[in-house]
Amino acid sequence: MSIHKTLGEFIIEKQADFPHAKGELSALLSAIKLAAKIVNREINKAGLVDITGATGVENVQGEQQQKLDMYANEIFKNALIARGEICGIASEEEDNYVFFDNKNSRSGNYVVLMDPLDGSSNIDVNVSVGTIFSIYRRVSPTNGPVGIEDFLQVGRKQVAAGYVIYGSSTMLVYTTGNGVHGFTYDPSIGVFCLSHESLTIPKSGRIYSINEGNYVKFPLGVKKYLKYCQEEDESTNRPYTSRYIGSLIADFHRNLLKGGIYIYPQTAQAPSGKLRLLYECNPIAFLAEQAGALATDGFSPILDIKPTELHQRVPFFTGSPEMMDTAHQFMKEFEGS
Protein backbone atom coordinates (compact mmCIF):
# COMPACT_ATOMS: atom_id res chain seq x y z
CA MET A 1 0.00 0.00 0.00
CA SER A 2 1.48 3.35 -1.04
CA ILE A 3 1.63 6.25 1.41
CA HIS A 4 0.36 9.54 0.02
CA LYS A 5 1.41 13.00 1.12
CA THR A 6 -1.32 14.69 3.12
CA LEU A 7 -2.71 18.17 2.52
CA GLY A 8 -1.10 19.45 5.72
CA GLU A 9 2.30 18.05 4.78
CA PHE A 10 2.05 19.50 1.28
CA ILE A 11 1.11 22.97 2.53
CA ILE A 12 4.07 23.04 4.92
CA GLU A 13 6.36 21.89 2.11
CA LYS A 14 5.04 24.66 -0.16
CA GLN A 15 4.89 27.39 2.49
CA ALA A 16 7.38 29.49 0.53
CA ASP A 17 4.75 29.77 -2.23
CA PHE A 18 2.68 31.91 0.15
CA PRO A 19 5.17 34.66 1.01
CA HIS A 20 2.78 36.89 2.97
CA ALA A 21 2.03 34.24 5.58
CA LYS A 22 3.91 32.63 8.40
CA GLY A 23 1.86 29.49 8.90
CA GLU A 24 -1.34 31.35 8.11
CA LEU A 25 -2.14 29.44 4.92
CA SER A 26 -1.94 26.17 6.82
CA ALA A 27 -4.39 27.50 9.42
CA LEU A 28 -6.79 28.84 6.78
CA LEU A 29 -6.88 25.63 4.77
CA SER A 30 -7.12 23.59 7.97
CA ALA A 31 -10.34 25.42 8.78
CA ILE A 32 -11.66 24.86 5.26
CA LYS A 33 -10.76 21.16 5.21
CA LEU A 34 -12.39 20.63 8.64
CA ALA A 35 -15.61 22.27 7.47
CA ALA A 36 -15.46 20.26 4.23
CA LYS A 37 -15.26 17.00 6.19
CA ILE A 38 -18.35 17.91 8.18
CA VAL A 39 -20.31 18.99 5.09
CA ASN A 40 -19.19 15.83 3.28
CA ARG A 41 -20.52 13.73 6.15
CA GLU A 42 -23.92 15.44 6.02
CA ILE A 43 -24.16 15.21 2.23
CA ASN A 44 -23.58 11.48 2.51
CA LYS A 45 -26.64 11.28 4.75
CA ALA A 46 -28.90 12.90 2.15
CA GLY A 47 -32.08 10.85 1.85
CA LEU A 48 -31.67 9.38 5.34
CA VAL A 49 -32.23 12.51 7.41
CA ASP A 50 -34.17 15.71 6.81
CA ILE A 51 -31.44 17.80 5.17
CA THR A 52 -32.64 17.91 1.57
CA GLY A 53 -35.08 20.26 -0.13
CA ALA A 54 -35.73 23.98 0.11
CA THR A 55 -36.09 26.01 3.28
CA GLY A 56 -38.86 28.16 1.88
CA VAL A 57 -36.60 31.21 2.19
CA GLU A 58 -35.07 33.13 -0.71
CA ASN A 59 -31.50 34.42 -0.63
CA VAL A 60 -30.44 37.91 -1.69
CA GLN A 61 -30.41 36.80 -5.34
CA GLY A 62 -34.06 35.75 -5.14
CA GLU A 63 -33.20 32.04 -5.29
CA GLN A 64 -34.68 29.36 -3.07
CA GLN A 65 -32.21 28.44 -0.35
CA GLN A 66 -31.73 24.74 0.17
CA LYS A 67 -31.43 23.33 3.68
CA LEU A 68 -27.88 22.24 2.97
CA ASP A 69 -27.02 25.74 1.69
CA MET A 70 -27.71 27.15 5.11
CA TYR A 71 -26.09 24.26 6.94
CA ALA A 72 -22.88 24.49 4.88
CA ASN A 73 -22.80 28.28 5.28
CA GLU A 74 -22.90 28.00 9.07
CA ILE A 75 -20.33 25.20 9.20
CA PHE A 76 -17.78 27.10 7.10
CA LYS A 77 -18.48 30.37 8.90
CA ASN A 78 -17.99 28.78 12.32
CA ALA A 79 -14.81 26.99 11.25
CA LEU A 80 -13.34 30.23 9.89
CA ILE A 81 -14.33 32.44 12.83
CA ALA A 82 -12.38 30.13 15.11
CA ARG A 83 -9.19 31.15 13.26
CA GLY A 84 -7.59 34.47 14.16
CA GLU A 85 -6.24 34.89 10.62
CA ILE A 86 -9.71 35.72 9.27
CA CYS A 87 -11.33 39.07 10.01
CA GLY A 88 -14.46 38.61 7.91
CA ILE A 89 -16.29 36.64 5.25
CA ALA A 90 -18.67 37.27 2.39
CA SER A 91 -20.95 34.45 1.31
CA GLU A 92 -23.41 33.88 -1.48
CA GLU A 93 -25.92 33.02 1.25
CA GLU A 94 -25.46 36.26 3.23
CA ASP A 95 -26.98 39.62 2.26
CA ASN A 96 -23.90 41.51 3.49
CA TYR A 97 -20.37 40.70 4.49
CA VAL A 98 -19.82 39.38 8.02
CA PHE A 99 -17.31 41.03 10.37
CA PHE A 100 -15.84 38.76 13.03
CA ASP A 101 -15.93 41.09 16.03
CA ASN A 102 -13.50 39.54 18.45
CA LYS A 103 -9.98 40.44 19.57
CA ASN A 104 -8.23 37.79 17.46
CA SER A 105 -10.22 38.47 14.31
CA ARG A 106 -9.77 42.25 14.47
CA SER A 107 -6.06 41.70 13.89
CA GLY A 108 -6.67 39.10 11.18
CA ASN A 109 -5.04 39.75 7.84
CA TYR A 110 -7.39 37.88 5.51
CA VAL A 111 -10.98 37.77 4.27
CA VAL A 112 -12.70 34.76 2.71
CA LEU A 113 -15.41 34.84 0.06
CA MET A 114 -17.33 31.65 -0.58
CA ASP A 115 -20.16 29.76 -2.17
CA PRO A 116 -20.76 27.24 0.62
CA LEU A 117 -22.60 24.71 -1.52
CA ASP A 118 -22.57 25.26 -5.28
CA GLY A 119 -25.23 23.26 -7.14
CA SER A 120 -27.14 22.45 -3.95
CA SER A 121 -30.45 21.91 -5.79
CA ASN A 122 -28.85 18.76 -7.21
CA ILE A 123 -28.44 17.18 -3.76
CA ASP A 124 -31.92 15.64 -3.93
CA VAL A 125 -30.95 13.63 -7.02
CA ASN A 126 -27.45 12.61 -5.86
CA VAL A 127 -25.48 14.79 -8.31
CA SER A 128 -22.03 16.15 -7.44
CA VAL A 129 -21.95 19.53 -5.69
CA GLY A 130 -19.14 21.64 -4.28
CA THR A 131 -17.82 24.42 -2.08
CA ILE A 132 -15.91 27.32 -3.68
CA PHE A 133 -13.61 29.61 -1.69
CA SER A 134 -11.48 32.66 -2.36
CA ILE A 135 -8.94 34.28 -0.01
CA TYR A 136 -7.72 37.90 -0.10
CA ARG A 137 -5.35 39.87 2.07
CA ARG A 138 -7.31 42.69 3.71
CA VAL A 139 -6.63 46.26 2.58
CA SER A 140 -8.31 48.02 5.51
CA PRO A 141 -6.27 48.86 8.64
CA THR A 142 -5.76 45.98 11.05
CA ASN A 143 -7.16 46.07 14.60
CA GLY A 144 -10.35 47.52 13.23
CA PRO A 145 -13.48 46.34 11.40
CA VAL A 146 -13.27 45.11 7.84
CA GLY A 147 -14.78 47.29 5.13
CA ILE A 148 -16.48 46.67 1.82
CA GLU A 149 -13.17 47.50 0.11
CA ASP A 150 -11.68 44.31 1.56
CA PHE A 151 -14.16 42.23 -0.44
CA LEU A 152 -14.44 44.28 -3.64
CA GLN A 153 -10.90 43.55 -4.79
CA VAL A 154 -10.00 42.63 -8.35
CA GLY A 155 -9.59 38.88 -8.86
CA ARG A 156 -5.86 39.10 -9.50
CA LYS A 157 -5.42 40.14 -5.86
CA GLN A 158 -6.48 36.68 -4.64
CA VAL A 159 -3.78 34.99 -2.59
CA ALA A 160 -5.46 31.58 -2.69
CA ALA A 161 -8.60 30.00 -4.10
CA GLY A 162 -10.06 26.56 -4.51
CA TYR A 163 -13.00 24.26 -4.30
CA VAL A 164 -14.16 21.06 -2.69
CA ILE A 165 -16.13 18.69 -4.89
CA TYR A 166 -18.40 16.18 -3.17
CA GLY A 167 -18.94 13.33 -5.63
CA SER A 168 -17.95 9.70 -6.10
CA SER A 169 -14.95 10.81 -4.07
CA THR A 170 -14.44 14.10 -2.25
CA MET A 171 -11.60 16.27 -3.52
CA LEU A 172 -10.11 19.58 -2.42
CA VAL A 173 -8.41 21.51 -5.23
CA TYR A 174 -6.54 24.76 -4.55
CA THR A 175 -3.98 27.24 -5.81
CA THR A 176 -1.84 29.95 -4.23
CA GLY A 177 -0.65 31.20 -7.61
CA ASN A 178 1.96 28.47 -8.01
CA GLY A 179 0.06 25.73 -9.82
CA VAL A 180 -3.11 23.80 -9.04
CA HIS A 181 -3.08 20.79 -6.74
CA GLY A 182 -5.80 18.26 -5.89
CA PHE A 183 -6.27 16.17 -2.76
CA THR A 184 -8.67 13.24 -2.41
CA TYR A 185 -10.35 12.60 0.93
CA ASP A 186 -9.67 9.20 2.46
CA PRO A 187 -12.55 8.65 4.91
CA SER A 188 -10.87 5.60 6.43
CA ILE A 189 -8.18 7.78 8.01
CA GLY A 190 -9.95 11.16 7.81
CA VAL A 191 -7.34 13.03 5.76
CA PHE A 192 -7.00 14.66 2.34
CA CYS A 193 -4.18 12.98 0.40
CA LEU A 194 -2.30 14.38 -2.60
CA SER A 195 -3.72 12.73 -5.71
CA HIS A 196 -3.34 15.33 -8.49
CA GLU A 197 -0.18 17.44 -8.30
CA SER A 198 0.35 20.37 -10.70
CA LEU A 199 -2.86 19.95 -12.66
CA THR A 200 -2.89 21.33 -16.21
CA ILE A 201 -5.85 21.42 -18.55
CA PRO A 202 -5.45 19.88 -22.02
CA LYS A 203 -4.96 22.55 -24.70
CA SER A 204 -8.15 21.39 -26.40
CA GLY A 205 -10.95 18.95 -25.74
CA ARG A 206 -14.16 17.50 -27.12
CA ILE A 207 -16.63 18.62 -24.45
CA TYR A 208 -18.71 21.80 -24.36
CA SER A 209 -20.82 22.58 -21.30
CA ILE A 210 -23.75 24.96 -21.56
CA ASN A 211 -27.47 24.92 -20.78
CA GLU A 212 -28.71 24.54 -24.35
CA GLY A 213 -32.29 24.87 -23.14
CA ASN A 214 -31.64 28.64 -23.15
CA TYR A 215 -30.34 28.62 -26.74
CA VAL A 216 -32.89 31.08 -28.13
CA LYS A 217 -31.89 33.62 -25.45
CA PHE A 218 -28.14 33.46 -26.13
CA PRO A 219 -26.11 36.18 -27.88
CA LEU A 220 -25.51 35.46 -31.58
CA GLY A 221 -21.80 34.80 -30.98
CA VAL A 222 -22.63 31.99 -28.57
CA LYS A 223 -25.21 30.51 -30.96
CA LYS A 224 -22.67 30.52 -33.80
CA TYR A 225 -20.04 28.88 -31.59
CA LEU A 226 -22.48 26.13 -30.55
CA LYS A 227 -23.25 25.39 -34.21
CA TYR A 228 -19.49 25.21 -34.81
CA CYS A 229 -19.18 22.69 -31.94
CA GLN A 230 -21.91 20.54 -33.48
CA GLU A 231 -20.56 20.52 -37.05
CA GLU A 232 -18.65 17.52 -38.34
CA ASP A 233 -15.00 18.26 -39.16
CA GLU A 234 -12.33 15.57 -38.86
CA SER A 235 -9.47 18.08 -38.93
CA THR A 236 -10.66 19.63 -35.64
CA ASN A 237 -12.11 16.41 -34.18
CA ARG A 238 -15.66 17.68 -34.32
CA PRO A 239 -18.51 17.37 -33.54
CA TYR A 240 -17.88 17.92 -29.86
CA THR A 241 -19.85 16.24 -27.09
CA SER A 242 -22.34 18.21 -25.00
CA ARG A 243 -22.00 17.58 -21.25
CA TYR A 244 -23.83 19.87 -18.84
CA ILE A 245 -24.38 18.83 -15.22
CA GLY A 246 -25.77 22.12 -13.93
CA SER A 247 -23.28 22.25 -11.07
CA LEU A 248 -20.43 24.64 -11.92
CA ILE A 249 -17.86 22.74 -9.87
CA ALA A 250 -18.74 19.40 -11.41
CA ASP A 251 -18.64 20.77 -14.97
CA PHE A 252 -15.40 22.68 -14.39
CA HIS A 253 -13.68 19.77 -12.63
CA ARG A 254 -14.46 17.39 -15.48
CA ASN A 255 -13.24 19.83 -18.12
CA LEU A 256 -10.11 20.60 -16.08
CA LEU A 257 -9.16 16.93 -16.16
CA LYS A 258 -10.36 15.99 -19.65
CA GLY A 259 -10.33 19.26 -21.58
CA GLY A 260 -13.36 21.24 -22.65
CA ILE A 261 -15.15 24.57 -22.40
CA TYR A 262 -17.82 25.82 -20.01
CA ILE A 263 -20.09 28.72 -20.96
CA TYR A 264 -22.74 30.55 -18.93
CA PRO A 265 -23.44 33.63 -21.08
CA GLN A 266 -25.69 36.60 -20.62
CA THR A 267 -29.26 36.28 -21.89
CA ALA A 268 -32.03 38.73 -22.64
CA GLN A 269 -33.49 37.99 -19.20
CA ALA A 270 -30.08 38.14 -17.47
CA PRO A 271 -28.02 40.71 -19.41
CA SER A 272 -25.25 40.61 -16.80
CA GLY A 273 -25.14 36.82 -16.69
CA LYS A 274 -26.09 34.65 -13.74
CA LEU A 275 -22.93 33.43 -12.02
CA ARG A 276 -21.49 35.52 -9.17
CA LEU A 277 -18.18 37.24 -9.84
CA LEU A 278 -16.86 37.12 -6.27
CA TYR A 279 -18.05 33.71 -5.09
CA GLU A 280 -17.83 31.62 -8.26
CA CYS A 281 -16.11 33.25 -11.23
CA ASN A 282 -13.04 34.83 -9.60
CA PRO A 283 -11.88 31.73 -7.70
CA ILE A 284 -12.56 29.43 -10.67
CA ALA A 285 -10.78 31.88 -12.99
CA PHE A 286 -7.73 31.94 -10.69
CA LEU A 287 -7.61 28.13 -10.75
CA ALA A 288 -8.21 28.05 -14.49
CA GLU A 289 -5.36 30.41 -15.35
CA GLN A 290 -3.01 28.56 -13.01
CA ALA A 291 -3.89 25.31 -14.79
CA GLY A 292 -3.25 26.80 -18.26
CA ALA A 293 -6.91 27.47 -19.06
CA LEU A 294 -8.60 30.77 -19.87
CA ALA A 295 -11.48 32.45 -18.05
CA THR A 296 -13.31 35.47 -19.47
CA ASP A 297 -16.69 37.14 -19.78
CA GLY A 298 -16.56 36.30 -23.47
CA PHE A 299 -14.21 39.17 -24.22
CA SER A 300 -11.99 40.16 -21.27
CA PRO A 301 -10.28 38.21 -18.46
CA ILE A 302 -12.49 37.67 -15.43
CA LEU A 303 -9.59 38.41 -13.08
CA ASP A 304 -9.30 41.97 -14.45
CA ILE A 305 -12.91 42.94 -13.67
CA LYS A 306 -13.20 45.50 -10.84
CA PRO A 307 -16.11 44.44 -8.61
CA THR A 308 -18.70 47.06 -7.74
CA GLU A 309 -21.01 45.04 -5.46
CA LEU A 310 -20.92 41.87 -3.37
CA HIS A 311 -23.41 39.89 -5.42
CA GLN A 312 -22.35 41.12 -8.85
CA ARG A 313 -23.04 38.76 -11.75
CA VAL A 314 -21.03 38.30 -14.93
CA PRO A 315 -21.12 36.12 -18.06
CA PHE A 316 -18.59 33.29 -17.70
CA PHE A 317 -16.51 31.39 -20.25
CA THR A 318 -13.71 29.07 -19.12
CA GLY A 319 -11.81 26.12 -20.51
CA SER A 320 -9.09 24.77 -22.75
CA PRO A 321 -7.18 27.63 -24.41
CA GLU A 322 -7.67 26.53 -28.03
CA MET A 323 -11.43 26.10 -27.55
CA MET A 324 -11.64 29.44 -25.75
CA ASP A 325 -9.76 31.19 -28.55
CA THR A 326 -12.31 29.93 -31.07
CA ALA A 327 -15.23 30.98 -28.85
CA HIS A 328 -13.70 34.45 -28.50
CA GLN A 329 -13.44 34.76 -32.27
CA PHE A 330 -17.17 34.12 -32.63
CA MET A 331 -18.00 36.53 -29.78
CA LYS A 332 -15.90 39.28 -31.34
CA GLU A 333 -17.25 38.72 -34.86
CA PHE A 334 -20.87 38.93 -33.74
CA GLU A 335 -20.49 41.42 -30.88
CA GLY A 336 -23.59 43.55 -30.52
CA SER A 337 -25.69 41.28 -32.75
Q: What CA–CA distance (Å, rounded) separates 267 from 271? A: 5
Annotated binding site: 92, 115, 117-121, 211, 244, 274, 280
Handedness of CA 196, 200, 204, 209 (dihedral sign): positive
Helix (H, G, I), strand (E, B) or coil at 180: strand
Query: What is the CB neighbour count within 10 angstroms for residue 273?
Result: 19
Helix (H, G, I), strand (E, B) or coil at 31: helix
- Beta partners for residue 181, in sequence order: 174
Annotated binding site for Mg(2+): 92, 115, 117-118, 280
- Beta strand 110-118 with 86-91: parallel, antiparallel or unpaired? parallel
Query: What is the CB neighbour count within 10 angstroms for residue 301?
Result: 14
* b/e per residue 33-54 (b: at least 16 CB within 10 A): bbbbbebeebbeebeeeebbee
- Nearest in space to 183 (alpha carbons), one of 1, 7, 4: 7
Angle of CA points 279, 282, 287, to nearest 5°: 115
Annotated binding site for substrate: 118-121, 211, 244, 274
CA dist list (Å): 189 to 29, 76, 126, 194, 207? 18, 22, 24, 14, 35
